[in-house]
Amino acid sequence: MSAPTADQQLLESMQALSHNGAILEFEPGAVIFRAGDRGDCMFGVLEGRVRLTWGDGSQAEILSAGQCFGQGALVQPERRRHGTATALEPTRLVLMQRQGMLFALDQLPVFGLQLLESTERRLQTLRALVA
């Protein structure tokens, strides 16, 4: 059995640290959030796929089980979503509120490292798409 990836470790940490253990379910085509919405949580994909689009919708990223998204709104002063997230198929997400994220960063430095690794991996993928 192979070791869990950094994304899987982050997702497991989110599940363990989410105080209310909120799991959300979305049908295909359901909008999770829209660009401009206020953001107070981040999400981890448990099952399914999520499409993130920016601007006119021509720029997109597809996230699948084990990946996290939405953390940008938690660290920016205006706490706004910059893209629109839509479920592509039946999708289950774990939700982590900003307060839970701040607690995790304060109490468990490894969570911060997992979050940075996940974010950097997504940035590398996006850089390759636009290159």
pLDDT digits (tens, 9 = 90+) for 68-85: 899 888 888 888 998 999
- Termini Cα distance of the chain: 35
pLDDT of amino acid 17: 65
Nearest Cα to Cα of residue 79 among 37, 130, 117, 119: 37
Range with the poorest average pLDDT among 36-40, 48-52, 86-90, 102-106: 102-106
Q: What's the DSSP call for residue 28?
A: T
